[in-house]
Structure 1
């Protein structure tokens, strides 16, 4: 109750300054250059944060693709041992044979595995894995879209068959690009370091 009373008794001008102070940054050291050691610590901390973020997001998207691979493996197993029991395969029963569906699912699995390798593999050729997976994903997408368009009625509930692998590869290429931009910014910051010794 006493806090509330004090708040009401404050003049509008005083409360305005208090609110401004809550959200303002300290300004007393604004013009002082950063010491070389402080610069090194700052850049090193940014490098560590960038490395952690890179590992985190590569792990997240690789995990999502791994779940999709597990689902596709189940799909292959079902089609091999219990043909046409899965609804999304049964739509194509009169269009293609069972082994062609299995081959398309294996191509989708290969696309996802190549994407995962491109995300997690630390080498100068990791982008080739990502772009190669995108090309195979495009072939899978064309295969499924061709057969979907030949159906008597276009089935929107299986649109993930053509778009799943290519979307996964495309999103991972974009994630890789963003992580590289972030890494490049930290590298530039290291290049901007200057020699200064505080007294």
Structure 2
């Protein structure tokens, strides 16, 4: 037991000294201005990293939305060929016509494809697609909530029907906003570049 406590004290002391090295005072070289060429390289690396991260996250969310849209299309065809067989459709058997269910799900599919277009479109106005997708999302949410409230018992397990498409639009708007903020920071950094030539 004593050996263990000695080892622990030794490792604690050595890590303390290692930490002190990490927090040493800066030397004169640490404050040397960055050469114009080094600035350009640094900002280009930031821009490249941002472009890769942006493409990755937009692709991830677009892929998730594509899967959700494929699920909704399957659900529509299931309702068309085998009406009321799916449990979440069967709840509305006495409340809504079959075409009403399919129309609401087609609206959700439209929302998904509008958001995907907004995410993957490289124009200046790509965010409009995501904003415009909120309107059919709201209509779909109102439709489902209206009929859910008319059921004899409120079904919490199908809360994704009204809020799925609207949540997709909101989350993707947030993702686009975060990526846009990062892009703005890199753009500001480029504006702060100064002319300096190391001698």
Normalised TM-score (structure 1):
0.91
1:42 matched to 2:3? The reply is no
The structure-2 alpha-carbon separation of the partners of 1:25 and 1:164, relative to structure 1 and needing over 3 Å to count, comes to farther
Coordinate RMSD, CA, aligned:
2.2
Where do residues 5-154 of structure 1 align in structure 2 (5 Å cutoff)? 16-21=16-21, 23-24=22-23, 27-28=26-27, 29-154=29-154
The structure-2 alpha-carbon separation of the partners of 1:149 and 1:12, relative to structure 1 and needing over 3 Å to count, comes to closer
Alignment deviations for residues 91-147 of structure 1 (CA, whole Å, 9 cap, x no partner): 000001101100110000000100000010111221111111011101100000000
The structure-2 alpha-carbon separation of the partners of 1:11 and 1:115, relative to structure 1 and needing over 3 Å to count, comes to closer
What is the alpha-carbon distance in structure 1 between the residues aligned to residue 11 and residue 49 of structure 2?
44
Gaps of 5+ in 2: none
SS in 1 for 2:26: coil
Query: Offset of 1:14 from its aligned partner?
Result: 6.6
Alignment deviations for residues 132-166 of structure 1 (CA, whole Å, 9 cap, x no partner): 10111011000000000000000000000000000
Query: Offset of 1:8 from its aligned partner?
Result: 8.2
What is the alpha-carbon distance in structure 1 between the residues aligned to residue 118 and residue 11 of structure 2?
62
Gaps of 5+ in 1: none
Normalised TM-score (structure 2):
0.91
What is the alpha-carbon distance in structure 2 between the residues aligned to residue 8 and residue 162 of structure 1?
57
Query: Offset of 1:20 from its aligned partner?
Result: 2.1
The structure-2 alpha-carbon separation of the partners of 1:147 and 1:12, relative to structure 1 and needing over 3 Å to count, comes to closer
Alignment deviations for residues 147-187 of structure 1 (CA, whole Å, 9 cap, x no partner): 00000000000000000000000000000100100000000
What is the alpha-carbon distance in structure 2 between the residues aligned to residue 44 and residue 25 of structure 1?
30
What is the alpha-carbon distance in structure 2 between the residues aligned to residue 54 and residue 141 of structure 1?
29
What is the alpha-carbon distance in structure 1 between the residues aligned to residue 11 and residue 95 of structure 2?
80
Q: Which residue of structure 1 lines up, in the alignment, with residue 165 of structure 2?
A: 165
Count of residue pairs brought into register by the alignment: 194
